[in-house]
Amino acid sequence: MRLKKLSLAIMTVMFLSLASTASANSSPVEIKGGDFTMEPGEFSVLQFNAEDGIEIEDYSWEASNHHVVDLDADTGRMDAVGTGEATITLKAVDKSGEEHRVSGDVVVQGREAPLVEPIPELQNNNRPDFMMGADVSSLHQMMEEEKSFYHLDGKEAHLLDVLGENGVNWVRLRVWNDPYDEYGNPYGGGNSNLDTTIELAKQAKERGMKLFVTFHYSDFWAHPGQQIVPKEWADLPGDELAEAVGDFTTESLERMKEEGVYPNMVGIGNETNSDILEQSFNLTSDGDMNPAAVNIFKAGTEAVRSTDPHADDPKNKALISFHLANGNNSWLYNSFASAMGKNNVDYDALGASYYPSWHGSYDEVLNNLNDITQSYGKDAFIAETAYPWTVNENAGDDTPQNFKHGDISTVGLAASVQGQATALREVLNVAASINDEKGLGAFYWEPAWLPGNTTGWATPYGTGWEVAGLFDINGHALPSVETFNLVRGNQIEPEDAEEYAYGWETEVVIEKGQDLEMPEEINAVKNNGMMGEDKRTIEKQPVEWNEEDKAEVDVNVAGEYIVFGSVAGREENAFAHVIIKEDESSSATEPAFSVPDGSEIDVVDGDGYSYSTRHVVEGGSYIELDTDTANAGISFTLDGASPIDGSGSTKELAGAPYIKGYDSIRTYAGPIHISQNINIQAVTKRSGYDYVSGQWGTARTILENSPIASASYKAIYNYSDDLLANGGFESGDLSGWKLKSMATNAAVMTAEEDVTEAYAGDHYFKFSINKGESLNLRQKAKKLPKGDYKLSLYARGDRQRSDETDMKLSAFTQGKKYRGTVETIPVPEGKMIWRKYSVDDIQVKNGNLEIKFDAETNGSYTGRIDHVVLEKQ
Catalytically active residues, by annotation: 271, 384
Tell me if 61 sits within 8 A of 100, measured CB to CB. Answer: no
Beta bridge partners of 789: 842, 872
Tell me if 445 sits within 8 A of 139, measured CB to CB. Answer: no
Per-residue CA distances from 118 to 115, 164, 168, 484, 487 (Å): 10, 19, 16, 10, 4
Q: Please list, in sequence order, all residues whose beta carbon lies within 8 angstroms of the beta carbon of residue 534, skipping any fewer than 6 positions away.
A: none
Look up residue 186 and give its DSSP letter: B
d(CA 59, CA 94): 9
**Antiparallel, parallel or unpaired: β 709-717 and 600-603:** parallel
Beta bridge partners of 443: 133
What does the radius of gyration of the chain's CA atoms come to, in whole angstroms? 29
Tell me if 589 sits within 8 A of 684, measured CB to CB. Answer: yes
d(CA 599, CA 689): 36
Number of H helices, E strands in the chain: 11, 49
Q: Choose among 234, 200, 232: nearest CA to 214.
A: 200
d(CA 303, CA 845): 48
**Antiparallel, parallel or unpaired: β 319-324 and 349-353:** parallel
Residue 178 class from Cβ within 10 Å (0-12 exposed, 13-18 middle, 19+ buried)? middle
Whether the bond into 460 is cis, omega within 30 of 0 = yes
Q: Choose among 751, 434, 379: nearest CA to 598.
A: 751
d(CA 585, CA 289): 56
d(CA 373, CA 367): 10
First and final CA of the chain: distance in angstroms?
A: 53
Beta bridge partners of 764: 749
Tell me if 432 sits within 8 A of 440, measured CB to CB. Answer: no
Tell me if 457 sits within 8 A of 130, measured CB to CB. Answer: no
d(CA 178, CA 182): 10
Kindly report the CA angle at 138 between 136 and 141, in degrees rounded to 5?
A: 135
Reported in sequence order, the residue ranges of 311-390 that DSSP labels E, i.e. its strands, are 319-324, 349-353, 379-385
Q: Choose among 257, 250, 243, 178: nearest CA to 211.
A: 257
